[in-house]
């Protein structure tokens, strides 16, 4: 099932989390997914489901790639949509996922201050694309049982169904400058505020998608890849970890924030995250020195957004306070109070096209020039030094498997 919305901020995440919490209590196994390139909602969805959350993105993955992600689990998928149902490139990111997978769609509507008008809104969404399997509405911010009954009758008169409702007293999820804040504490009890119709669970069915054949190439067989993963650097697509494992890589996690030793490895991946929130702790971490020595010694490395920021000479927060970092790059990274860049990015290279997403509040201020990593790309072209490829982009590895295999093997030039 896809949990879609009329627009951003309507409560898709809260509803999806509440469903996952109820499923956990009832012993129902659901596989969580998030539509679009966002990293933060998946943290919450994974915490509520007690298992990893995977991404579905029609632009980065294409239809075959999305089906491959769905095939990773035999349990019924629960997919939180992105923006409004029909918003995004190519007729709507969430709608495109629904059409490509054949999964049913439940629409979240903010019903605060609304009664019979909910039927007009829901009818418009249900009829806009006849290829969608629209199964009903979940009303959010409902005033109580009487309000819910009015909404249910209005939808029934329009030939639609109220699948459930969430009361207006449900706790809100905290936000941060890149979206929802990652769950630093226990999830709020959203499930206790969601009232589902008995028919709801019967609509949550496994996706009838055949798993694709495994890659026979094993392009990273035996390659040990050290992957930074902690509260400062945690923006990791689960699909990228899946791809590394499928290609034979030996993944070795470590925490720069905790000052852990850099694992014995052949290559290094520094993903994005919130290094600016932990800049003081990172500046004291001995791991940064080990990372710098490894990169200067020729270890192949990919640094994405926040992972690139810890390789500079300093991170400067929005109040002007500077914190020394690894010093591999002759650059300072300065936090801004406004968004610097946002959007999907593509980079054609040797018969493949790298696909990814850029979203950051930091500027890179170079003290000395370096060659571009991804020359000609729209957005940040990044920098190269030693065997390091660094930029503000968050890449989807399976979009260009030969390139990323060469990068982690140290064969990219």
Residue identified by tokens 């009329």 is: 6
List C-alpha distances in Å: 116 to 148, 151, 156.
Answer: 11, 6, 10
Cα(123)–Cα(286) distance, rounded to whole angstroms? 59
Whether 412 is catalytic: no
Q: Alpha-carbon torsion 403, 398, 360, 84, what sign? A: positive
List C-alpha distances in Å: 381 to 44, 185, 269.
Answer: 31, 36, 18
Cα(1)–Cα(325) distance, rounded to whole angstroms? 44
Q: Which of 53, 204, 305, 412 is catalytic?
A: 305
Phi, psi of 323, deg, nearest 5: -130, 120
Cα(274)–Cα(14) distance, rounded to whole angstroms? 23
Q: Which residues are tagged catalytic?
A: 305
């Amino acid at each position: 099932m896809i949990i879609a919305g009329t627009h951003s901020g309507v409560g898709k995440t809260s509803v999806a989390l509440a469903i996952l919490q109820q499923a956990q209590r009832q012993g129902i196994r659901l596989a969580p997914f998030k539509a679009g390139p966002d990293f933060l909602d998946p943290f919450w969805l994974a915490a509520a489901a007690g298992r990893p959350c995977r991404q579905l993105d029609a632009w980065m993955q294409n239809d075959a790639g999305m089906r491959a992600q769905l095939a990773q689990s035999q349990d019924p998928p629960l997919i939180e949509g992105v923006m409004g149902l029909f918003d995004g490139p190519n007729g709507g990111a969430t709608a495109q996922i629904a059409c490509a997978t054949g999964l049913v769609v439940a629409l979240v509507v903010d019903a605060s201050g609304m009664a019979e008008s909910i039927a007009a809104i829901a009818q418009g969404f249900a009829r806009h694309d006849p290829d969608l399997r629209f199964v009903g509405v979940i009303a959010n911010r409902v005033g109580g049982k009487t309000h819910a009954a009015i909404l249910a009758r209005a939808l029934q008169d329009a030939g639609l169904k109220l699948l459930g409702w969430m009361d207006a007293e449900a706790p809100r999820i905290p936000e941060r400058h890149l979206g929802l804040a990652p769950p630093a504490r226990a999830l709020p009890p959203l499930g206790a505020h969601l009232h589902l119709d008995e028919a709801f669970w019967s609509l949550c069915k496994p996706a009838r998608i055949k798993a694709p054949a495994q890659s026979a190439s094993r392009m990273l067989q035996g390659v040990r890849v050290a992957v930074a993963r902690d509260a400062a650097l945690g923006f990791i697509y689960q699909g990228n970890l899946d791809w590394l494992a499928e290609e034979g890589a030996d993944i070795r996690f470590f925490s720069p924030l905790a000052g852990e030793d850099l694992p014995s490895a052949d290559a290094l991946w520094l993903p994005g995250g919130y290094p600016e929130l932990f800049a003081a702790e990172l500046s004291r971490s001995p791991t940064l020195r080990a990372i710098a020595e490894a990169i200067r010694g020729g270890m192949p490395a990919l640094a994405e957004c926040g992972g690139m920021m810890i390789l500079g000479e300093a991170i400067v927060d929005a109040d002007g306070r500077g914190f020394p970092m690894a010093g591999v790059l002759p650059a300072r990274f300065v936090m801004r109070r406004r968004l610097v860049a946002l959007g999907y990015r593509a980079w054609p290279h040797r018969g493949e096209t790298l696909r990814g997403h850029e979203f950051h509040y930091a500027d890179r201020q170079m003290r000395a020039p370096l060659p571009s990593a991804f020359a000609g790309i729209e957005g940040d072209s990044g920098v190269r030094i030693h065997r390091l490829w660094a930029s503000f982009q968050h890449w989807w590895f399976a979009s260009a498997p030969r390139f990323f295999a060469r990068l982690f093997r140290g064969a990219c030039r």
